[in-house]
Amino acid sequence: MINIKKAAAAVFCCAIFAASFSGCDEKSSKKPTNAEPPTEYTGIVNYTPPEEGEDILVLTLKDYGDIKIKLFPEEAPKGVENILGLTEKKYYDGLIFHRIISDFMIQGGDPEGSGRGGESIWGGKFDGGISPNLIHAAGAVAYANSGSPTTNGSQFYIVTGTKLSDQEADQYKASGIKISDDALKIYKEDGGAVYLDGRYTVFGQVFDGLDKVFEVQKVETDANDKPLKDVVIESMRVEKYDGSDVKFHLSDY
């Protein structure tokens, strides 16, 4: 039987993400790319470092500093197109992380700050698909949805999670849940939220500032997991990677 804590978290995450999008379904004339995520597993790519000159996201949090995010356009083409388009419109500037759960994730990107707002660059929702090569390792960045990746909008979350124990890994296997050897190694050494895999569009990975994400998750929250003091996105912008140090793991800080 799956560990009670993990099972409860899995059920809970469904509930909190399902509350995410009740907003606008208006369509824009601009259509998302026809490209689709790969369907064949070729290996976990979360820890692939950016190349010099590559587009990255830099999320600046008030009182915390910069969080740098590697993007995966080949694995999540529509997801990356959406986040880049919204970022270039300065959509996220001034928004808050409205839901924070320690040892799980921090969630933001809702202009209403309620967990029920936001829309894609095309208006309404979009289908971001799921790549088998991206997992919910600590530092993974993915879209919240209301039941499936066809209901992605603007809201996203950054995973913190916990390390997977040998006992928990055995319990997953006994329950028929398949975890690749590469993913299992990452979840045991670096942590994450394995129970989210296959249900949400992962499109990025924090490669600098993971320590700040883990610091943010410690803030005091109310009964609805909303921080008592706003955690504000001062800005989110697209920059060219300059070849600076890559720190995917907490042990790098």
CATH number (domain holding residue 168): 2.40.100.10
Nearest to 219 by CA among 160, 154, 146: 160
Q: How many domains does the chain have?
A: 1
Q: Is 69 part of any domain?
A: yes
List phi, psi (to 5°) of 61: -100, 130
pLDDT in tens, 46-88: 999 999 999 999 999 999 999 999 999 999 999 999 999 999 9
Residue 29 included in any domain: no
Q: What is the pTM of this model?
A: 0.91
- Residue 111 structural domain: 4-22+54-242
In a domain, 49, yes or no: no
Asked if the structure places residue 33 within a domain, the reply is no
For residue 226, what pLDDT is reported? 98
In angstroms, rounded to a whole number, what is the distance separating the alpha carbons of residues 166 and 176? 16
- Indicate if the pLDDT at residue 24 is higher than 90: no
At 33, the pLDDT band (50, 70, 90 cuts) reads: confident
To the nearest whole percent, how much of the chain has pLDDT over 90? 83
**Tens of pLDDT along 178-206?**
899 999 999 999 999 999 999 999 999 99
Residue 87 lies in a domain: yes
